[in-house]
Amino acid sequence: MLQTLSIRDFVIVDHLNLELRNGFTVLTGETGAGKSILIDALSLSLGARGEAGVVRAGCERAEIITGFSVAGLPEVKRWLEENEIVSEEHELLLRRLIYFDGRSRAFINGVSSTVQQLKELGELLVDIYSQHSHHSLLKANYQRATLDNYANLTSLAGEVSTLFYGWQEILAKRQEMERNASLYASEVAVLRDQIRELRQLAPSKDEWMPLQQEHSRLSNGANLIEGSEICHELLSESEYAVLSQLSVIRNRLSNLQESDPVFKEAMDSIDSAMIQLEDMDRFINKYIQRLELDPERLNEVESRIHSLHSVARKFRVRPADLSDLLEDSQKRMAELEAMSDDGELQRRESVAKKEYMAAAEKLSQGRQEAAVAIGLAVSEQMQTLSLKGGAFKVSLNHQSPSAAGLETVEFLVAGHAGAEARPLSKVASGGELSRISLAIRVVTASQVDIPTMIFDEVDVGIGGGVAEIVGNLLAKLGKERQVLVITHLPQVASQGECHLNVRKIQQGENTFTTIEPLDDIERIEEIARMLGGVEITDTTRQHAREMLKIH
């Protein structure tokens, strides 16, 4: 659940620290006080798109921090583990910075994150319903998603979509093969000759570089022998060999050291030099003994290099890449042969279609059962919302196989008894749409694991006894999860367990928005204001007390 909200330099908020409780919380305030600022700030912390215009005038950046308790939310914990973000003691902090130049930064538990990650995580934490969300109910995709969520079919619907696209991919390959059969046959013929020639050449991986090195050694054999022998002679065999000269110097230094120990450092240096030169001399001597002139091997190497060069030029690749070319050509040949096998492609297509149809039919069955259940449940709620005799139905209309399944989903409503059920968009007025939307939210809420629900003036267009019923429904919802409601109706506000008041305050030339919790006396005054307008009388206060059940 949402526990804390901290806002800095956001629109007309200087600084605001808000602690929130579980259950049903209402937010009220005069028109223009900035009630929706809470929703806007929270939405940004949950990954909504940010703009530079939200930064308070004269400030460098706006900052929003939201704190959540994620105890008992396995989906959230799983997401954090998958994204390698540590969460201690079931606490979660989301932080969003919006800079005056439009830049944005996001953090999850102090770890720099992307806005997309905030959005993914936010969808597991909070559902926000606004007046505009009513209109989402008019969209076919939204109606289908609502039904699938209600029936716990979201995972199966995703599987159906994946299977459909897999099936379509194989189908497209088969159709492509049929259209381009002659072109593929020509490509197969070219590949067959190419593979045959490459197999005869038998290039191996990592062959080219050692072959080049061996050729260099063999072709320069005489020079290598001559140069090595000269080095060996200069080091140890000639009259003035380096090692002999160093031995003389060492003997001199040894005598000097006996008279003055300071020459020990020079002795150590010449000992080290002689050891290294002796090692070098042994290496060169062994090399001379091992190295032989081999014209026959040289011819073999030159012939191999020529063959590799010739084939590489023919196929327009580097000699070192001939092995990879053979491997790629064999893979392509296997792919084309599989595609050219109409029976194999048809078999794969048949299997993919069968798997899709099995999942899609299972999805259809689940939707049919859920359509009846949600229709009855929403219709029952409609009776309490001054839509007596009205009925809600979910129509499932068969369609050709698609990523969405085997049917379209359409919400129908009959406004009164005896009326024909028609599409929601054609029969519902703004007020009716608000009430039907609320009924759907109440019915589907128990099927959703999201712990916090926020309603932003979804009660627009209703009043009187219906408003009281709406308040009852929201309060009932608050028994199951955290519910925050921005409302202008006293009948709704009076039923909140916690009441927050949004006010504008003037400090000099600056205007700020504050949000403060109300005690019982303050709640009476606020409900009275909502009931009676500008002038608050004893009568409206008494009415407010009765609504709040405060005596």
Task: Take residue 459 and report the two structure tokens written for it.
Answer: 């009660």
Whole-number pLDDT of residue 199: 92
Whole-number pLDDT of residue 178: 73
What are the Cα distances from residue 43, in Å, to 120, 128, 451? 12, 8, 16
Burial class of residue 56, CB neighbours in 10 A (0-12, 13-18, 19+): buried
* Consecutive 10-residue averages of pLDDT for the chain (551 residues): 90 86 89 75 86 85 91 86 81 91 89 90 83 68 89 93 95 80 79 91 88 79 75 84 88 87 89 91 82 75 87 90 92 79 79 96 96 93 83 94 95 83 75 75 74 77 77 85 88 92 79 85 91 80 89 71
Whole-number pLDDT of residue 429: 62
Report whether 221 contacts 291 (CB < 8 A): yes
Tell me how many degrees the CA angle 42-47-51 measures, rounded to the nearest 5: 85
**How far is the C-alpha of 65 from the C-alpha of 341, rounded, in Å?**
60
Q: Name which of 133, 131, 173 is nearest 342 in CA terms.
A: 173
Whole-number pLDDT of residue 470: 84
Task: Take residue 47 and report the two structure tokens written for it.
Answer: 């990954």
* Residue that the structure tokens 């009326």 belong to: 419
Q: Name which of 499, 504, 506 is nearest 522 in CA terms.
A: 499
What residue type is assigned to position 229 of the chain? E
The angle, 0 to 180 degrees and rounded to 10, between the axes of the packed helices 140-150 and 430-445 is 30
Q: Where are the domains of the chain?
A: 186-338
Tell me how many degrees the CA angle 177-178-183 measures, rounded to the nearest 5: 65
**How far is the C-alpha of 366 from the C-alpha of 356, rounded, in Å?**
15
Whole-number pLDDT of residue 284: 87
Whole-number pLDDT of residue 33: 62
